[in-house]
Amino acid sequence: MDSLTRASAALLLASAAAASHAGELSVQREMTIDRLFYADALPTPTYGTGGILWASLTLALLTVPVVIVATEEGLAAIPRGIREASLALSATKLETTLRVVLPAVMPSILTGLILAMARAAGEVAPLMITGVVKLAPSLPIDGFWPFLHFDRKFMHLGFHIYDVGFQSPNVDAARPMVFATTLLLLGIVVLLNLFAISMRNRLRKKYATAAV
């Protein structure tokens, strides 16, 4: 019984030591990142606060599954004989992937990208938690190292629509601003989608011509 108690106590101590060591390593990583990029802000920590970095990762987690599903559908639609013919002509698996499979699946990837852009443009709630603000004091890009500051807060058109349209003391006076911001957001999304669609159609035409 005593040996079991000692073994349990030793296991608990080992677990506590491992957790403490992991916490120390995490703190050391954060301090290292702060020393490299945000030395001027020390001792106030910068890494881990809301900003463009965490907002980008959040949107990536929300939209990447759409691209993955579209890519899987595109890969499933590629005939197996194309891969086998490429391998039969002495091409390696890497060459087959880069020169045969990837060009064929690229339209499906761009289709997923179009859907992901449309979804990301309408996401506001996650950004409210990860770094969006009503008025950003400075742009994330400037002439000071590291030039692109992922830790800074940012403004978002979707949040601006919500803030002006629903939080303004005079909703009627703010209505033209809401309409203008909405049209700007829609215009940006439409332009990005048109660019992606044109690229997709160009790749489809190129691949179809190469196949003939």
pLDDT tens profile 55-88: 888 888 888 988 899 899 888 888 888 888 889 9
CATH of domain 51-211: 1.10.3720.10
- What percent of the chain stands above pLDDT 90? 8
Q: Which residues, at least 6 apart from 59, have a Cβ–Cβ distance to it below 8 Å?
A: 120, 123, 126, 127
Kindly state the average pLDDT of the residues 112-140. 84
The answer to whether the predicted template modeling score (pTM) of the entire model surpasses 0.95 is no
Q: Where are the domains of the chain?
A: 1-29, 51-211
pLDDT of residue 187: 93
CA distance 119 to 130: 17
Cβ count within 10 A of residue 148: 10
